Amino acid sequence: MSDFIQAKNLKFSYINEIEEPPVRTEVLKDINLEIHKGEFVAVLGHNGSGKSTLAKCFNAINIPESGTVTVNGLDTKDEDNLLEIRKTAGMVFQNPDNQIVATIVEEDVAFALENMGVEPNEIRKRVDEALKTVGMYEYREHAPHKLSGGQKQRVAIAGVIAMQPECILLDEPTAMLDPKGRAEVMKTIKQLNREHGVTIVLITHYMEEAAQADRIVVIDSGDIVMDNVPKKVFSQVSTLKNLGLDVPQVTQLAYGLKKAGYDISTEIITEDECVEALERILADA
Amino acid sequence: MIKDITIGQFFPGKSPVHRMDPRVKIVLTMVFIIMLFVADKIWGLLIGIAFTVFAYAISRIPGKMILKCLKPIVPIIIFTAVLNLFFIRTGKKLFEAGFILITDDGVNTAVFMVVRIICLIVGTSLLTYTTSPIDLTDAIERLLSPLKLIKVPVHELAMMMTIALRFIPTLIEETDKIMSAQKARGADMETGSIVKRARALVPVLIPLFVSSFRRAEELALAMECRCYHGGEGRTRMKQLKVSCVDFVAVAVTVVFFAGIIVINHLV
Ligand SMILES: Nc1ncnc2c1ncn2[C@@H]1O[C@H](COP(=O)(O)OP(=O)(O)O)[C@@H](O)[C@H]1O
Ligand SMILES: [Mg+2]
């Protein structure tokens, strides 16, 4: 099956039962989305557009109000599929402090496997592997609260990849990190995708991070408004600005130069491409 | 000042005491407590002291930790001593002034109780100094697991304890941050009457509570995402194993205990 995660006419609302009568907030209106195996998808959208809500639909935390979501062929509505789906699609959250359960790094990485009832020896093996993959093996006996933000977030990622999921959903994993931590986490994510073939769904506010994905999905008030490769998405600078989003700095530069009458492509998303284009302009002049 | 909490302070190490099975350590600590209360002759109590010193020596915990764990209970020690000294009126009269009467029985009991309390605190602290909190919770969970039969939520309690331990440093850090933020806005938390200082804590506690609830919600979600569904069918990475060290420790404790009983009967 090539469509690894499939959302069909997905509708989702939060219902606040405390109020009388219950208040309902419709968040996702009619989402149709397919994510293929091994893909690296970035999800963009301004605050409150429904990105997190969508991601939580992909691992059966949120159950669709109507429509269906299937993960690896398993329907998220079916209660019996719950653990299998969570094993298949792991999730990493924004604040590393609030997702680490144990007081020792390796114990935390083992948490999911212990819940799954894996044999002790097998847990040990997989924990060590996961820690090595994220480059935190030397810290396996440390207390998590003594690590830096980027390190904590990598431990959280290790805790998820120890489950050997086929897909990882990351909800703004770099939002609380400094530039160094951000780079560490992005490197780990890309490595998981390229070397281990893990499907990645990355929600982010950093356009430079989104530019590294295979595909970008832009969400606005619960609807998918763009779904294309990064070059095509970022070339629509004014549309993005109207949605309250930025473009990578280099794209912004190229866009400005183009407007000023220079002959430059608007499909520039990496620094290297930008340097090359600028060199060409300078050589022509 | 907030970081001075010694309860649960763990000193990693490789001493025989560190290597013991935490379950055995907990059981032996309890035996030790019983031992202290069984000893009712001065020689018996000296054996109790000897046992404590011996255990500290082989665990290589720095001696200043003994003082540190005693600091918070100084008022209790003084209170016990005074109570016994002045209110026991049996035995030979040693000193009398007005309504104050001090007898040799009083002095004896006071010394006994103080030594007992000190040994008790110092001895039980060794358990937390040499056992990581997670091992401790783990051991408690396993020791109490028979209670699951009568529907005591042992796993849930242990999980709560683990999470509490995990979040203590995080919350302490956060408290510090909020306090600094409030001080930067001119809050005064160090001077004034107790009432005034307590009131100054309100703007610290409220944000702390709010953020704790948010943390709890996020943590619950993260746990669910990692397949947490209660204690049923759960395995553990680290298996506890009783080894040679434990047998030796049990033997040593038995010898000391026997010594106390013998002395109780002989002297
Ligand atoms: N647990 C909840 N209960 C009620 N409303 C919620 C809840 N979580 C999110 N929302 C609302 O749903 C909308 C989308 O939120 P979210 O998916 O978190 O957006 P994003 O991650 O894109 O910032 C927001 O308007 C938010 O207020
Ligand atoms: Mg969000």
The ipTM (two decimal places) reads: 0.89
Other CB atoms within 10 A of residue A197 CB: 10
- Specify the higher pLDDT residue, B181 or B187: B181
Sign of CA dihedral B149, B150, B153, B154: negative
pLDDT of amino acid B185: 87
What are the sequence ranges of the domains in chain B? 2-266
CA neighbor of A41 nearest in space, from A249, A237, A220, A204: A204
Q: What is the mean pLDDT of residues B108-130?
A: 91
B177 has pLDDT over 70: yes
Which residues of chain A lie closer than 8 angstroms to B218, CB-CB? Answer: 93, 95, 98-99
B7 has pLDDT over 80: no
A223 has pLDDT over 90: yes
pLDDT of amino acid B199: 86
B116 has pLDDT over 70: yes
pLDDT of amino acid B4: 43
Q: How many A-B residue pairs are in contact by the CB < 8 A criterion?
A: 95
B2 has pLDDT over 50: no
Kindly give the pairing relationship between strand A74-75 and strand A66-71: antiparallel
CB contact under 8 A, B163 and A144: no
CB contact under 8 A, B218 and A99: yes
Q: In the numeric block, which tokens belong to residue B108?
A: 């004896």
Burial class from Cβ neighbours inside 10 Å (0-12, 13-18, 19+) for residue A168 reads buried
Domain of A202, CATH number, reads 3.40.50.300
With tokens 């700095």, the residue in question is A249
DSSP labels, B84-116: HHHH---S-EEEEETTEEEEHHHHHHHHHHHHH
Q: What is the mean pLDDT of residues B93-114?
A: 84
Please check whether residue A270 lies inside any domain of the structure.
Answer: no
B201 has pLDDT over 50: yes
Burial class from Cβ neighbours inside 10 Å (0-12, 13-18, 19+) for residue B145 reads middle
Q: What is the mean pLDDT of residues A267-273?
A: 89
Sign of CA dihedral B246, B252, B255, B256: negative
Please check whether residue A271 lies inside any domain of the structure.
Answer: no
pLDDT of amino acid A73: 93
Please check whether residue A82 lies inside any domain of the structure.
Answer: yes
* Banded model confidence at residue B13, pLDDT cuts 50, 70, 90: confident
Q: In chain A, pLDDT over 90 holds for what percent of residues?
A: 85
Please check whether residue A284 lies inside any domain of the structure.
Answer: no
pLDDT of amino acid A2: 61
Q: In the numeric block, which tokens belong to residue B159?
A: 């999980």
Average pLDDT of chain A, as a whole number: 93
A228 DSSP β-pair partners? A216
* Banded model confidence at residue A63, pLDDT cuts 50, 70, 90: very high
Distance in angstroms (rounded) separating the CA atoms of residues A88 and B156: 26
Distance A51 CA to ligand 2 centre (A): 6
Distance A28 CA to ligand 1 centre (A): 10
Please check whether residue A240 lies inside any domain of the structure.
Answer: yes
| Strand order across the A23-36 sheet | A23-36, A3-16, A66-71, A74-75
CB contact under 8 A, A120 and B222: no
For residue A67, report the phi and psi dihedrals to the nearest 5 degrees. Answer: 85, 180
For residue A219, report the phi and psi dihedrals to the nearest 5 degrees. Answer: -115, 135
Per residue in A113-153, pLDDT (tens digit) is 999 999 999 999 999 999 999 999 999 988 888 899 999 99
CA neighbor of A41 nearest in space, from A171, A174, A173, A200: A200
Task: State the smallest CA–CA distance between residue A64 and chain B in angstroms.
Answer: 17
3-state SS record for B184-234: HCCCCCCCCCHHHHHHHHHHHHHHHHHHHHHHHHHHHHHHHHCCCCCCCCC
* Banded model confidence at residue A186, pLDDT cuts 50, 70, 90: very high
Distance in angstroms (rounded) separating the CA atoms of residues B48 and A246: 71
Distance in angstroms (rounded) separating the CA atoms of residues A23 and B230: 31
Per residue in A77-105, pLDDT (tens digit) is 999 999 999 999 999 999 999 999 988 89
Which residues of chain A lie closer than 8 angstroms to B169, CB-CB? Answer: 143, 145
Give the structural domain span for A99: 3-247
A263 has pLDDT over 60: yes
Hey, of B226, B234, B238, which one would you mutate to test binding to chain A, going by the most A CBs within 10 A of its CB?
A: B226
Average pLDDT of chain B, as a whole number: 88
A245 has pLDDT over 70: yes
* Alpha-carbon distance values, B199 to A22, B177, B196 (Å): 37, 18, 5
pLDDT of amino acid B1: 37
Which residues of chain A lie closer than 8 angstroms to B170, CB-CB? Answer: 97, 145
Record the pTM. 0.83
pLDDT of amino acid B41: 82
* Ligand 1 atom nearest A55 alpha carbon: 17
Please check whether residue A35 lies inside any domain of the structure.
Answer: yes
pLDDT of amino acid B8: 54
Per residue in B51-77, pLDDT (tens digit) is 999 999 999 988 888 888 888 889 999
Distance A53 CA to ligand 1 centre (A): 6
What element of type H or E holds A130? Answer: helix A120-133
pLDDT of amino acid A136: 95
The number of folded domains in chain A is 1
B6 has pLDDT over 50: no
* Banded model confidence at residue B3, pLDDT cuts 50, 70, 90: very low
CB proximity list for A1: less than 8 A, separation 6 or greater: A72, A73
